[in-house]
Structure formats: C-alpha cells, structure tokens
Amino acid sequence: MQTAIAQIVALITWGNSRLRGDPQINADHFYPGNSTFGFCEHVRFVDLKATGSEWAEESYAADPSAWFLRMKQEGITALRMVYAPSDGVMLGNEKVADRMLAGFTGGGGRWIIEAVKPHASDHWEGRWEVGDRDRSDRRIWRVTYGRIAPDSPGYGGTVAGEDEVKSQLIGILERISAFARVHHLDNFATVFDQGSALLASSEPLQSVYHTDIAPPGRVSTTSAQLLAAAQTAWVFGGMGSWNDLGFDGSDQVLYDELSEELYRLLNSAILVAANSGIDS
C-alpha cells in the first residue's frame, strides 16, 4: 500500500475516533508520531478559494491534530474514504490502467476524504511534493490536503461488506500466487501467501510496517486483516515490481486479468476497512 493511501486511512480511522470523543485517542501523539507521517516534513490543510481563473490556498489547519479539532468544532460527524478510479490514462495512443500508474505520486486513481456533516459533506484531496531531498531525517515530503469541494453532496456509492471482500481477496491471492509459482516468481508468490496468512491472523497489524494505521482495538479483526493484507500484497510499483513483468500469449492475458482483479480487491479492502464502524 502506498504511504499516501496509508496516511489517508490513518487520518480517517484516528479522526473518527477523535470525532466520537474517544478518551483513549491522543491526537497530539498521533501527529507526528504515526508511521504514515514518518517521511513528511509537514502535513497541512488548506481551503481552496477561487480567484478569477485561478485558485488560492487559505490556511485551514496547521497539522492533523488541529484539523481534527477544527472539524469537531464545525460539526463534522464522520470521515469517510472515497476512491475514484480514472478508467485508465492515455499515454500516446495507449490507455494505461490505474494499477500500472499506482507506483507514481498521484497515480492509480484518486483517493478522497469525505468529511460528513448533517446535511452535506466537504471533500479533501492530498498533494505530495518533494522538499529538501538532503534532509538527514529523510522527512522530504511536504503534504497538503485541500478542501476541494465544501458543502457538497455526500458519496452515494456502496462497497461490499468486510466478509465478502475478505473472501474474494483470499481467492485472488490463492490464484495469483499459483500463477507466480508456475512462472518461478517465488518472491512474489511468497508475498501473496503472506497476504493470505494475514487474512487468518488474530493480530494482523503486528506483522506489517504501518502497525498504527488504525487506533488499537478500534477496528474489527476483519478490518485489521484487510488493512494488513493490503499493505503486504500491494505489488503495484515501478521498475522491478509486479507491474514490470511480461509474458507470452495466453499467459499475458491471464496475468493481466489476475493483476486487475487483485488491484480492484485491494482497493476495496482498503475502503471497507477504513470506513468500517462509521455510524453516519
């Protein structure tokens, strides 16, 4: 799972606990201590204001802790994750699928945070920019979330339930692991098998990088399994990744089908887990 996606999941899961007034959630500890901020110089929130034909940024919150507080003050009742696939991007005369662009900043479709109000929603989208590449602490990313659509209609789409997505994910991981082993891609097969194992683990987030992607004990075991598997089985990067492979004839057709299905289901797993427990 890309860090940019993981960070949105963390903002939503920790933010919803904060909005509910969970006494065990320490927003000041969340930022900058959460692992999803580990390489960020700053994470800021701005309003986007139209000024003629251009847009100007107006400060909304200096960091996630201030963002949580201001949203609570303004009557936000819940945060929801929304994914908008691009249906492919044209590069020259060829349409490139989202999964092929997922390893690039801003590629792979759009991930939106919906801030739910009683009668409308605000929508926020992140922008990642490289700052000082030579920082010794490696905090090179400058992240800005812009409120791109205030007081807008809420997201009306539906996502399958946790158990259904989990079942489908188990199936595709088994199939794509078998494909990898047939083609002697044992490293990838091991990754897919590890993803499957996490879907049966009682403490799945203990075994992945972003152990703190959700507040401890504040998501169901199934949601935690989905978030862990999505971190482990995310193989859609640049050179040397699963996307960089090619085959002959019918093997290429099967590879494309399996890869597209895995990408779709990992995105569904992230969505359903991030949005689990939202009462509004």
Count of structural domains, the chain: 2
Q: How far is CA 246 from the centre of its chain?
A: 27
Tokens of 176: 């794509």
Torsion angle (degrees, nearest 10) of CA 63, 119, 277, 262: -80
**37 and 122 both lie in a single domain:** yes
What single string gives the DSSP state of each residue in 149-187? EEEEPPP------HHHHHHHHHHHHHHHHHHHHHTT-HH
**174 and 53 both lie in a single domain:** no
**119 and 93 both lie in a single domain:** yes
Range of the domain at 112: 3-152
Q: Is residue 185 part of a domain?
A: yes
Query: What average pLDDT does range 234-260 have in this prediction?
Result: 90
Q: Which of 88-102, 190-204, 235-249 has the lowest mean pLDDT?
A: 88-102
Q: Which residue has the higher pLDDT, 42 or 95?
A: 42
Q: Is residue 279 part of a domain?
A: no
| Residue 181 confidence (pLDDT) | 97
**95 and 197 both lie in a single domain:** no
Q: What are phi and psi of 59, to 5 degrees?
A: -55, 135
Q: What are phi and psi of 80, to 5 degrees?
A: -135, 140
The whole-angstrom separation of Cα 275 and Cα 16 is: 9
Average pLDDT value for the chain: 89
Nearest partner of 121 among 74, 69, 73, judged by Cα: 74
Q: Is residue 121 part of a domain?
A: yes
**182 and 76 both lie in a single domain:** no
Domain end residue (candidates: 128, 152, 176): 152
Q: Is the C-alpha dihedral spanning 87, 90, 94, 97 positive or negative?
A: negative
**8 and 90 both lie in a single domain:** yes
**7 and 125 both lie in a single domain:** yes
Q: Which residues contact 275 (CB under 8 A, 6 or more apart)?
A: 12, 80, 81, 159
**185 and 119 both lie in a single domain:** no
What single string gives the DSSP state of each residue in 102-153? TTSTT-SSEEEEEEE-SS-EEEEEEEEEE--TT-TT---EEEEEEEEEEEEP
**8 and 141 both lie in a single domain:** yes
pLDDT tier for residue 20 given thresholds of 50, 70 and 90 = confident
The whole-angstrom separation of Cα 109 and Cα 86 is: 5
Q: Which residue has the higher pLDDT, 52 or 250?
A: 250
pLDDT tier for residue 96 given thresholds of 50, 70 and 90 = confident
**148 and 173 both lie in a single domain:** no
pLDDT tier for residue 280 given thresholds of 50, 70 and 90 = very low
- Residues 230-242: pLDDT tens digits? 999 999 976 678 9
Q: Is the pLDDT of residue 17 over 70?
A: yes
Domain end residue (candidates: 107, 127, 152): 152
Domain end residue (candidates: 130, 152, 174): 152
| Residue 160 confidence (pLDDT) | 76
- Residues 27-77: pLDDT tens digits? 667 899 999 999 999 999 999 877 777 778 899 999 999 999 999 999 999
Q: Which amino acid is at 136?
A: S
Q: Which amino acid is at 10?
A: A
pTM confidence score? 0.91
